């Protein structure tokens, strides 16, 4: 059981602050990996909340592997995002204000694999072909970064 789940047992659905990592994986065609989420049925970026005793880079590595099957050994911090635009309410009523540390993964290897049940699909999209049903926080991140995130180099290790 994770930190947030344990905390929820004590406080119920009341709003909490969650620190976490969101990961950009860029392929050689400068497309970014998106996850079709099983909980909200919209599209977002891989990522999740910090557990006790983790660094943010460890969160990024763990969530990337759990949600996509990919492995990375290096992450570059793009920025930190917080405030009312990053509020989220889950379908069960749990409320959360997220503090998102957005990373681009470097030296990525592996094969896409939906491992944890949190994804219905994993697909790379260019900025001109994004799905219509983007998760609100993901859309806000994309809007805040404008074209910067699409100019990132490939995440994948070169052999």
Given a contact cutoff of 8 angstroms between Cβ atoms, the answer to whether 50 and 3 are in contact is yes
- The mean pLDDT value for 37-66 works out to 95
Q: How far is CA 32 from CA 3, 16, 19, 23, 55, in A?
A: 29, 29, 23, 10, 24
Interatomic CA distance for residues 157 and 151, integer angstroms: 17
Q: What is the pTM of this model?
A: 0.91
At residue 146's C-alpha, the angle toward residues 125 and 66, to 5°, is 45
Q: Which residue has the higher pLDDT, 115 or 26?
A: 26
* pLDDT per residue as tens digits for the range 119-137: 899 999 998 899 989 999 9
Closest CA to 83 of 99, 102, 68: 99
Given a contact cutoff of 8 angstroms between Cβ atoms, the answer to whether 141 and 34 are in contact is no
* pLDDT per residue as tens digits for the range 62-116: 999 999 999 998 999 999 999 999 999 998 999 999 999 999 999 999 999 987 7
Domains of the chain, with CATH numbers? 3-151 (3.90.79.10)
């Amino acid at each position: 059981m994770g930190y947030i789940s344990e905390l929820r047992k004590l406080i119920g659905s009341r709003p909490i602050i969650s620190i976490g990592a969101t990961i950009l994986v860029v392929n050689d065609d400068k497309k970014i990996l998106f996850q079709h989420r099983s909980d909200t049925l919209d599209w977002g970026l891989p990522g999740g909340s910090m557990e006790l005793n983790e660094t943010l880079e460890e969160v990024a590595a763990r969530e990337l592997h759990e949600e996509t099957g990919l492995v990375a050994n290096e992450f570059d911090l793009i920025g930190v995002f917080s405030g009312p635009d990053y509020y989220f309410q889950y379908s069960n009523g749990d409320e959360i204000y997220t503090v998102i540390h957005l990373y681009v993964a470097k030296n990525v290897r592996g094969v896409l694999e939906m491992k944890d049940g949190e994804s219905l699909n994993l697909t790379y999209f260019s900025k001109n072909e994004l799905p219509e049903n983007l998760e609100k926080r993901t859309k806000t991140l994309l809007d805040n970064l404008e074209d910067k995130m699409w100019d990132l180099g490939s995440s994948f290790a070169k052999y």
